[in-house]
Chains A and B, each alone.
Chain A
Amino acid sequence: MSVPILKQSQYLIATIQSALTDEDLLTLQAKLVQSVGKFRSRGVIVDVTALDVLDSFASRTLRDIAHIIRLRGAETVIVGIQPEVAFAMVQLGITLEKVSTALDLEEGLAYLDKRLPHAAASP
């Protein structure tokens, strides 16, 4: 299951639409890192609203995505972690340290606009 990546102004929005295998997650990681350079994006949003489980591998991959993209000069926000999923992650011991998160896509965009005033999607 491939994850569509939408380009909006200087942002990239990846919306995960169903359960992903480990390989799908790594493909998403490679695609995002590449796209940031290709489109000279400043911000990336990964929407995980549809994910019903974020286990240690998925969490590590999301964290890696955020860290790699930061090294490429852009900001990443993970949006839409569901309440049950957040609960399970904490119980499992996962904190996604140093990764920005927001409630939903709207909040994620608002966060990036604030962090990156020169890249705001809607000036």
Chain B
Amino acid sequence: MQQPLPDAEAQYCVPVASVNDIVTARLQGRGLAQQLGFSPGEATLVATAISELARNIVQYAGKGDIELRSANNGNRRGIVVVARDRGPGIADVRLAVQSGYSTSGGLGMGLPGVRRIVDDFQIVSDRQLGTTITVTKWRG
């Protein structure tokens, strides 16, 4: 389950190793979004993004973790979600974030969908080090 990291405000790390952890991670994310005053609609977007990112980990890397933390930018509050795995990496990152592209027979909605529902989306992928996707969603 979630383990609060020391010396950090509202920071959680959810290990993701099975489909059950997808549900745990998104519940945790929704909880944090609510704590930070996100509207129900925004909290649902955060939970949905986490769900897609966590599933990506389970599907392609087997295991990894989802880190959740609060962010501030002046008066704005937000959530940063970091999805990290040490899996095989993504061969073509540009292709992976294209709508409709899927190597798993899915809808190809996962990553491109996440990119649409968050404010900032960054992906770093390496054949040796795995994949880290960092997304930020600001409160409206």
- Residues in chain A within 8 A of chain B (CB atoms): 19-23, 52-57, 59-60, 83-85, 87-88, 91-94
User: Ordered nearest first, which 9 A-B pairs have the shortest CB separation?
Assistant: A92-B113, A84-B44, A55-B51, A56-B109, A22-B19, A84-B41, A88-B48, A21-B19, A91-B117
Q: How many pairs, one residue from A and one from B, have CB atoms within 8 Å of each other in the complex?
A: 71
The answer on a CB contact under 8 Å between B106 and A60 is yes
0 or 1 for each of B39-69: is its CB under 8 Å from A? (1 = yes):
0110111011001100100000000000000
Bound CA span A91–B44, Å? 11
* B23 interface residue per 8 A CB criterion: yes
The answer on a CB contact under 8 Å between A55 and B52 is yes
4 extra A-B contacts, CB within 8 A, seeds A21-B23, A91-B116: A53-B44, A53-B47, A60-B107, A88-B117
* B112 interface residue per 8 A CB criterion: yes
* B22 interface residue per 8 A CB criterion: yes
* B110 interface residue per 8 A CB criterion: yes
* Minimum C-beta distance from B20 to chain A (A): 5
B side interface size, CB within 8 A: 27
The answer on a CB contact under 8 Å between A53 and B26 is yes
* B30 interface residue per 8 A CB criterion: yes
* Minimum C-beta distance from B63 to chain A (A): 15
Q: Of the candidates B23, B40, B51, B52, which one forms a contact with A84 in the assembled complex, judged by CB atoms under 8 Å apart?
A: B40
- Chain B, residue nearest A56 (CB): B109
Q: Which residues of A contact B47 (CB under 8 A)?
A: 52-53
0 or 1 for each of B10-42: is its CB under 8 Å from A? (1 = yes):
000000000110110011001000000000110
Supposing A55-B55, A87-B41 touch, asked if A21 and B106 sit within 8 A by C-beta, the answer is no
- Chain B, residue nearest A89 (CB): B48
Looking at A20, A55, A83, A88, which has the most chain B CB atoms within 10 Å of its CB?
Answer: A55
The answer on a CB contact under 8 Å between B23 and A56 is no
Supposing A21-B20, A92-B113, A93-B116 touch, asked if A56 and B41 sit within 8 A by C-beta, the answer is no
